[in-house]
């Protein structure tokens, strides 16, 4: 499973990218707004730091304008993925952009039927928002399972990108459900390594090593 960061915080992205296990990045208009950086400069910085796919979203409401925006966005860097909304206009734009060999990510998916539409339109990624489903008392991870099963029946090549990740458990459950990618906020990503038994074990090991009086040559 690939790990993407869901962020536009450039300094945090650079810090976490030093782990060597970040495979890509997702953004959205809200995150771009929070970055308080000129759009072109921000996208250039992000695409230079992250070598894998970087999703950048269109903001138009009709397919023709989405396509025009998508073409412009795709030319900003070689690793750009054009993000499109899960609407009929977004599906039409996805179909056209996919036929132009432009990679796409259909976002705000909340049902299996929506995921099928994206796959039929040739989307590179479909982004089910599992955290927001959980907020509505719906099992978000179950949607990942359903999409995975449906895609396996028909050999759809669209990758399942689990989004709206709120907890470490979301990451684990998405992996168990067969998600191809999980896009993780920096705070959640940073917490993945944490476990109190790891901390206790290291404390014991370090204490015993100091008592031994030895050195590693």
Taking the C-alpha atoms of residue 125 and residue 27, their distance in angstroms, rounded to an integer, is 14
Instruction: Tell me the whole-structure pTM to 2 decimals.
Output: 0.96
DSSP 8-state assignment for residue 79: T
The per-residue b/e assignment along 16-25, b for 16 or more CB within 10 angstroms, e otherwise, is beeeeebbbb
Domains of the chain with bracketed CATH? 2-212 (3.20.20.70)
Active site annotation includes 83: yes
Structure tokens at 185: 């906020």
Taking the C-alpha atoms of residue 45 and residue 204, their distance in angstroms, rounded to an integer, is 42
Task: For 146-193, write each residue's pLDDT tens digit.
Answer: 999 999 999 999 999 999 999 999 999 999 999 999 999 999 999 999
- Under 8 Å between Cβ of 47 and 79: yes
For residue 116, the tally of other CB atoms under 10 A from its CB is 17
Taking the C-alpha atoms of residue 127 and residue 119, their distance in angstroms, rounded to an integer, is 11
The per-residue b/e assignment along 26-52, b for 16 or more CB within 10 angstroms, e otherwise, is bbbeebbeebeeeeeebbebbbeebee
Task: For 99-115, write each residue's pLDDT tens digit.
Answer: 999 999 999 999 999 99
Catalytic residue among 36, 75, 78, 83: 83
């Amino acid at each position: 499973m690939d790990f993407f960061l869901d962020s536009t915080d450039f300094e945090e992205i650079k810090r976490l990218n030093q782990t060597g296990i970040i495979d890509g990045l997702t953004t959205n208009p809200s995150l771009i707004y929070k970055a308080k950086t000129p759009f072109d400069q921000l996208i250039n910085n992000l695409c230079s730091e992250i070598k894998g796919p970087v999703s950048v979203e269109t903001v138009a409401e009709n397919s023709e304008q989405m396509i025009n925006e998508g073409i412009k966005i795709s030319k900003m860097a070689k690793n750009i993925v054009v993000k499109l909304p899960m609407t009929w206009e977004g599906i039409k734009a996805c179909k056209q952009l996919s036929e132009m060999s432009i990679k796409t990510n259909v976002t705000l998916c909340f049902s299996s039927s929506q995921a099928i539409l994206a796959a039929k339109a040739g989307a590179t990624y479909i982004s089910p928002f599992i955290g927001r489903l959980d907020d509505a008392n719906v099992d978000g991870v179950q949607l990942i399972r359903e999409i995975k099963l449906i895609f396996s029946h028909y050999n759809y090549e669209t990758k399942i990108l689990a989004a709206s990740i709120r907890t470490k458990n979301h990451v684990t459950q998405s992996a168990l459900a067969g998600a191809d990618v999980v896009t993780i906020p920096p705070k959640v990503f940073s917490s993945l390594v944490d476990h109190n038994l790891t901390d206790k074990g290291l404390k014991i090991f370090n204490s015993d090593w100091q008592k031994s009086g030895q050195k590693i040559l």
